[in-house]
Amino acid sequence: MAAAHLPRRFFRALWPGPPRAASVAWVEGILEPNELALWRELPNHDRRYTIAVARRVQQELAGTEYAGDPRWLAAALLHDTGKLDAGLGIVGRSAATVVGSLAGSARVARWRGRAGWRGRVADYRVHDEHGAARIRAAGGREEAARWAYAHHDADRRAESGIPPVVAEALRVADDA
């Protein structure tokens, strides 16, 4: 994952306000009722962020054969739902990102299933897996589940079945 956008994202997340009503209405026109219920579980900062990602995806796909397809906007809006499973706030997520990077993937993998902070760090570091499972359990679109699973891993993106142009638009929008 490209990290340059993370400090900016951290400071934006500190503002507690909900997304604007017009933005929520836009999301309501994209997501199916079961997906919308899942999206509404996200904290305000994640809902604001995913709206921004989906708007960037919309811009990235303008003029392509994929423009206007709500599947890709749903994928952008739902891609981080797995972060809910870690139960970490803004500062905890930031710490989990740093600790997970320093500890390394193998060590963090051994923390999976543990109680306490280490287990939550491990859950956060695999939020892509959790997100795909949440989307599927909610009856969400398969494309959104596949993107949630693949969004941090280039190999997974290539194997996801998501058109490369769309996958690149989603990646760029998330890393902006």
Q: How do residues 128-156 score in pLDDT, each as one tens digit?
A: 999 999 999 999 999 999 999 999 999 99
Query: Which one-letter DSSP state was computed for residue 161?
Result: -
Say if residue 8's pLDDT is above 80: no
Q: Could you give phi then psi for residue 17, rounded to 5 degrees?
A: -65, 155
Does residue 12 form part of some domain? Answer: yes
Does residue 151 form part of some domain? Answer: yes
Does residue 99 form part of some domain? Answer: no
Length of the chain: 176
Enclosing domain of residue 49: 6-87+127-175
pLDDT at residue 4 in the model: 62
pLDDT at residue 41 in the model: 98
User: Rounded to whole angstroms, how far apart are CA atoms 144 and 107?
Assistant: 29
Say if residue 159's pLDDT is above 70: yes
Q: How many CB atoms lie within 10 A of CB 15?
A: 9
Burial (CB < 10 A; 0-12, 13-18, 19+), residue 31, is buried
User: Rounded to whole angstroms, how far apart are CA atoms 47 and 113?
Assistant: 27
pLDDT at residue 1 in the model: 45
29 CA to centre of own chain: 19
Does residue 114 form part of some domain? Answer: no
Say if residue 15's pLDDT is above 90: no
What is the tens place of the pLDDT at every residue in 29-73?
A: 999 999 999 999 999 999 999 999 999 999 999 999 999 999 999
Does residue 111 form part of some domain? Answer: no
Does residue 73 form part of some domain? Answer: yes
121 CA to centre of own chain: 16
Q: What angle do CA 84, 42, 70 make, to 5 degrees?
A: 115
What is the tens place of the pLDDT at every residue in 77-86?
A: 999 999 999 9
pLDDT at residue 73 in the model: 98
Shortest CA distance to 148 belongs to which of 67, 68, 60, 42? Answer: 42
**Residue 83 is which amino acid?**
K
Q: Helix, strand or coil for residue 86?
A: helix
**Which pTM value belongs to this model?**
0.91
Question: Do residues 151 and 174 touch, judged by C-beta distance below 8 A?
Answer: yes
Does residue 31 form part of some domain? Answer: yes
- Total domains present in the chain: 1
Burial (CB < 10 A; 0-12, 13-18, 19+), residue 122, is buried
Kindly report the average pLDDT of the chain as a whole number.
Answer: 93
User: Rounded to whole angstroms, how far apart are CA atoms 82 and 134?
Assistant: 7
Does residue 107 form part of some domain? Answer: no
| Beta strands in 43-168, from DSSP E residues, in sequence order | none
